[in-house]
Structures are given as structure tokens and as C-alpha cells.
Structure 1
Amino acid sequence: MTTTLTTVPRQSEAELLALGARAFTGLGLRPADAVLVARVLVTADQFGLSTHGLSRIESYGERLKVGGIKARPDITVHQPAPALRQVDGDNGVGPLVGMRALQAAMDAAKECGVGVALARGSNHFGPISPYSLIAAEAGFASIIGSNATTTIAPWGGSDARLGNSPIGFGVPHPGGDPFLLDMAMSVAARAKIRNALKRGEPIPDTWATDAGGRPTTDPAAALDGFLLPIGGHKGYGLALMVDLFAGLLSDAAYLTHVKSWSDAPDEPQNLGHFFILIDTRRLGSAQWLAQRMRDFAAILHASPPADADRPVIVPGEIELGKLRRQRSEGIVLDPATYELLQRHAEGIAVAP
């Protein structure tokens, strides 16, 4: 019989990175690979994105144990052109494949000024903002995307044929906060709809459709239906663009060829990602970029807010503020996540 913790000690960044690395090593990853996975997930937690942070050890761990994800993949990088890299993730853990692809794109951009990496044979790789931050801190502007399991119907359609595929942008700011934008394609996450159902509240009819493809305010009907993309048909087109770059061009699965990790946890998803980087040091000095980035943010911040309690912000400011605070004060993980990490780290068998 297991007991669930009710209180969890506050963890420093170093402690979380070490715990995450030990836990993924306990699941069979090579120690160096586990460190890369932990880095992405811990940064997600520090950004306040707990649903995409170390809590992912539950779903990743389940798939690792049933063979749906390879613990020790043979990830390869092919160079078909000077600035282009093709990464075969060999069905590895998504953040590991993502970090390898990011490094490949950075290597290409260092050589050519721009670098593109297309990854296949991957899985859910966490949020985009940790990769964008790593790239920005190394001096690279970035456009990064991934495809995903189908949850959105084609515009005007009545069944799920494309994923809620995220895309992110990053621009470095030497000595200051980089610009970071990380967004998925749906108006609202399914978690928000589930929360509305628990509270017995209706949802806006712009969030989702019912199973017949009709907009609904009923959260139960929405959960049986499909998410609506941002911007209507424009968001639909943007979601397709992400899948074309991440899935089709990378030679990964795309649209309905992407397998659901929850419905088929023991089968490879073959997700794809893309990383497009620009080495900003080729464009000008650090002082030049810093001055322009300060001015860019100042123009936005100077706009009088419509609500005095909600000043204008630049994308990434909230997450980077949380990152600084959590690095200083530490993080208190969800008790169930902390206990699961401890058990994997200690090599204790976890019941399915």
C-alpha cells in the first residue's frame, strides 16, 4: 500500500533538475539524456506551465514502461544542405528529441547565419518556450513548432483531423528579457472546458463545437466535440501550416496519421518538430540589438492601459517573471508528481 504526500518541501532549481534526471534515468534513459529532458520540464514548471512540466513524468513514464517510447533511442542527424538538418528521433522521449534538434539547428545557424532542423520519430516534447529561451540566451531568434494528436476539426468539418499544434517565437535581448511567444492553435484548452463542467458553468460558444461540429456553450457537449481554432478559418490555416512544416516536411506523421498517445500508448506517435533559427550576431552587435529591443518594449509599455490594473505587457514577461521568482524562491511541486518522481528516482516499481 502506498501513501500520498500531503506536503512537499520547496525545491531549488538544482534539486529539481537532479530529481528529474534521476527519475528519468530510473525509467531507463541514459543519464546524459535524462538531464536534457529534465531541463525542458523544469523550465516549464518555472514558467508556471505545470501541466507541461515534471508532471509529464506520469504520461511519459507509462509509455516508456509499455514500450510506446524508446528509453535509449539512436537519434541521428543528417545534413542534406549546409543550413539544413534532418533529425530522426528513433521514437525517443519528446524533450530529448527536441533538445537534440535544437542543438542541430544552433550548430547550423552558427555556420551559416540561419539554421533549420526538421525532426521526426518524436513524441510530446513539452512547451515551446523552454527551447525558445535556450535559443535566445545563445543569441538566436527562433520560430519553433510541433504537430500533435488530432483534437480540431477542419474549418467547416465535423470530425477531428488536425492537432492543437503549438508554435512559438523568440527574439534575444542581450542583458534583458527576450521576446517569447508560445501559443497553441485552440481558443481554449480542454482543461478549461473540463473545469467549467466541474463548476456547472457554460462556456463561450467560441471555444468548441459539439460532436456535430456546431458551436456549443455546453461543456459536456464540447468535450465530446472539437476545439475551435483561434481566429476562425485563419487559425485553421495556421494550424495546417505548423503541421506541414513539423509533420509533412520532416517525414513524420501528420494530421490523422498521428497516433493518440492516450488511445494507443504502446505505439509510436511519430510526431514532428521544426526549429528555424537566425544567428542575430550576424546582424549587428549585442549593443545594437539590446538598444532596439529596449525601444521595442518601451513603445508597447508606453501605451496607456484600458484597465489601470492591467498594464500593457510584452509576450514572455509574465513567464520570465515567474522564472526569476521560482529560481530565487524554489518550487513546490504537486504532491503526486513529487512522489512519482521520487519513486522512479529510487527505482521503486510504480503500479500501472
Structure 2
Amino acid sequence: MNTRTTDKVLVPQEELTALGVRAFQNLGLPPQDAADVARILVLADLFGLSTHGLSRIESYGSRLQVGGINAKADISIQKPAAGLRLVDGDNGIGPLVGMHALRAAMEAAEACGIGMAFARQSNHFGPISPYGLMAAEAGYASIIGSNATTTIAPWGGTDARVGNSPIGFAVPNPSGNHFLLDMAMSVVARAKIRNALKAGQSIPDTWATDSAGKPTSDPKEALDGFLLPIGGHKGYGLALMVDLFAGLLSNAAYLTHVKSWVDAPDEPQNLGHFFILIDTRKLGSTQWLTERMNDFASILHDSQPADPARPVIQPGEIELARMAHQKTHGIAIDAEVLDLLRQHAGQTA
């Protein structure tokens, strides 16, 4: 049963997953591929990452319909070394390529203790935290990254040549309280700047630059300009490292070679991803890891908060709490997104 709250609808996880699978099948994906895609996007919604969840049916769906994404991708995996996997996504939908790369890296790590998969010929693969969670639940610590369309100027530059490339880290806690960190390279998302413009508000001049590369507090100038990386020149360097691993070393596109799915929706992006996994079971027992991870979190939690209403947490706690709540009470999804899913799934209500 669905419950509507303002512009959100609460949908049980199983029902929403089935709807997502059916929608992607109707967009041309084979059943198992559609299930892989829905798994990533539903996890994103469970975490509360609605901008990267099933709302992506709009952009993924339109690109599938115009042939910009290959619905019947024949994904292949090469094994150049015991701990290495090379994944060719055949321009498949990003979460599907990501799932293949995750499983390939798991296989390599199980055999060698540490494994790495490089993926190319892919597209936007959703947020990183769902992959980190799946790896953690299987006992693997992970470092995962992807490159992206260029929205950031080189440090000191005046045009977009660097992607807002995300990177994520996860360390398992066998008790379930995993460490999950998922971050992009910009100080804020462009959506925050758009919201400030709609509200007629100024923005901090640390968020973005104008088209001449100068810091600005005007949201309109910022939208015509470029996002600023986290940590200034350090974030710029980190963004380049993500692109070197995800794009250059994977033999995918990198920097300005990455196609914009907005400007060219019918052309392959050739995005790249990387998955580095460590089998923590090779390091010690689950009891050993649980005790150390719990102690690690306790040291942070025991810090007296500056604001009593905001206790100290470790990355991942908010997302895992949201997931637990929504598994029980239903996933909050925008009514418009639900309607679009139903349209693609061939449902009228």
C-alpha cells in the first residue's frame, strides 16, 4: 500500500524495486540487467540520496530511448593479472557496468586478498555508497571512484576541464555499523546554487566562480561559471587523481574527452570507474574487526558535541539509519518520479 505525504509517496521497498525492474525492462534491458540497475538505485533511495536514485529513470530512460546508452550491452571482463580485472561496459547503463566491476573486484580480492577492477565504456553509475555497502556486507573494505562530465575549471583556469568526480571509501563492521564515505569534488552541488537563485539569495563566494574564474556570491554568475573544488588546490589535485584512475588508467575518456550526456544524449560518454577492494577476512577474524570498528566509532562518539542537538557521528550513520527506517516504513519517493516509473513500467496507476 502506498502512502502519499505532500509531494512524496511512501512505497514498500519490494514494490518499488519490482517497479524499477519492470521500468528498465520496458526500456530494453534484459531482466537480470534491469535487476542490477534497480538494486543500485533503490539503495540510493533507501539512503535518502533521491537525486541519484530512481529519479535517474528520467535521464537514463531518455538516453536509452535515443540510443545514447546501449540497452543490450555485452559487458566483457579481462584478467591481465591475478588481482586485476578490466571491464568493458559496451556503453551499457552505468549501474549495470558498476555491478559487473564490483563483482569482478570481489572475485580478484577473494583470490588475492586485494583486487582492483577498472571499468570503461560506461555511463553515470549512481552514487558510490551503495557499492561500498555491498562490498562491506561481503567483508571487503573499498575505495571506489568514477570520473564525470566537466564542471570544474583547472585551479586558476577559466573554463571547465575537470569533472566533479566522486570517490568513496567503506570499511566493514561485521555488526552492521559500517563506515561509509561518499563525496564529490565540489564544495556544493549546482542544485544548491540553483535553489539560492530561485530564492533570491546570495551564496558564499567559496562555492563557485564566475565565467572569468573569479569567486562570486551571485548565484546567476555562479551558474554561468564553474564549481569550486573542496579544499581549494588540494581538491583540484584529488579530482585529477580520481580521473587518472577512473579515466586514464581504465582506458576510458578523461577530462574534456568525456561527453556531456546533457549536450549529446545520443552519444556514448565512455565514463570510467575503478574499484579497489581489500578482503578484511584475510586480516583477522570478524570478532577482531568488530571490536576495533566499534572502538573506532566510540572514540568519535565520546567527543563532547559543540551543539548538543548534533552529536558526533562517523560517516555512514545517517544513511544507514535512513535505510533501516525506510525498510520498515517505506521509501519516500517524489510523486512525479513514481508516475514516470509507472509510465515506463506500463502501469496507469
TM over 0.5: yes
Task: State the 1:331 CA deviation.
Answer: 1.5
Q: Secondary structure at the match of 1:333?
A: strand
Aligned mates of 1:24, 1:153 — CA distance in 2? 35
Alignment of 1:2-41 (within 5 A): 10-41=10-41
| 2:297 aligned partner | 297
Displacement of 1:175: 1.4
What is the SS of the residue equivalent to 1:10?
strand
The equivalences for 1:201-220 within 5 A come to 201-220=201-220
Q: 1:154-210, CA deviations, whole angstroms, 9 ceiling, x for partnerless residues?
A: 000000001000000000000131000000000010000000000000000000000
Tell me by how many angstroms 1:105 deviates: 0.2
- 1:308 aligned onto 2:308: yes
Alignment partners' CA distance in 2, 1:251 and 1:347? 41
CA distance, structure 2, for counterparts of residue 8 and residue 305 of structure 1: 33
> Where does residue 3 of structure 2 map in the other structure?
none
Q: How far, CA to CA, are the matches of 2:305 and 2:340 in structure 1?
A: 44
In the alignment, residue 134 of structure 2 is paired with which amino acid? I
Q: Helix, strand or coil for the counterpart of 1:158?
A: coil
Aligned length: 344
Aligned amino acid, residue 201 of structure 1: Q
| 1:49-198 correspondence to structure 2 within 5 Å | 49-198=49-198
Partner deviation per Cα, 1:2-30 (whole Å, 9 max, x = no partner): xxxx8775211111111100000000000
Q: How does 1:232-311 map to 2 (within 5 A)?
A: 232-311=232-311
Over the aligned positions, Cα root-mean-square deviation in angstroms equals 1.2
Counterparts of 1:140 and 1:8, CA distance in 2: 35
**Structure 1 runs of 4+ off > 4 angstroms?**
6-9
* In 2: Cα distance, 1:119 partner to 1:105 partner: 10
Distance in 2 between residues matched to 1:206 and 1:125, nearest whole Å: 28
Counterparts of 1:8 and 1:272 in 2: how far apart (Å)? 33
The DSSP-based 3-state class of the residue aligned with 2:80 is: strand
CA distance in structure 1 between the aligned counterparts of 2:332 and 2:210, rounded to whole angstroms: 37
* Equivalent pair of 2:326/2:332 in contact (CA under 8 Å): no
Deviations 1:296-350 (A, max 9, x none): 00000000011111110000000111000000100132111111111111189xx
CA contact 1:8–1:338 (8 Å) conserved in 2: no
- TM-score normalised by L of structure 2: 0.97
Change in Cα spacing, 1:233 to 1:7, as seen in structure 2 (3 Å) is closer
The answer on whether the counterparts of 1:243 and 1:255 sit within 8 Å (CA) in structure 2 is yes
Contact 2:9 2:335 in 1 (8 A): no
Deviations 1:82-128 (A, max 9, x none): 00000000000000000000000000001110010000000000000
* Alpha-carbon distance in structure 2 between the residues aligned to 1:97 and 1:266: 18
Q: Describe the superposition over 1:43-93 as per-residue Cα deviations: whole angstroms up to 9, x where unpaired.
A: 000100000000000000000000000001010000000000000000000
Q: Deviations over 1:212-255 (max 9, x none)?
A: 00000000000000000000000000000000000000000000
State the match for 1:341 in structure 2.
Answer: 341
Q: TM-score, normalised by structure 1?
A: 0.96
Asked if 1:320 is matched to 2:315, the reply is no
| 2:226 corresponds to 1:226 | yes
Gaps of 5+ in 2: 1-5
Letter in 1 for 2:189: A
Instruction: Give the letter for the 2:159 counterpart.
Output: D
CA distance in 2, matches of 1:315, 1:68: 35
CA distance in 2, matches of 1:122, 1:285: 36
Deviations 1:245-304 (A, max 9, x none): 000000000000000000000000000000000000000000000000000000000000
CA distance in 1 between partners of 2:37 and 2:347 (Å): 18
Q: 2: CA distance between counterparts of 1:338 and 1:330?
A: 13
The runs of 5 or more residues in structure 1 that have no matched partner are: 1-5
Question: What's the secondary structure of 1:24's corresponding residue?
Answer: helix
Q: Secondary structure at the match of 1:180?
A: strand
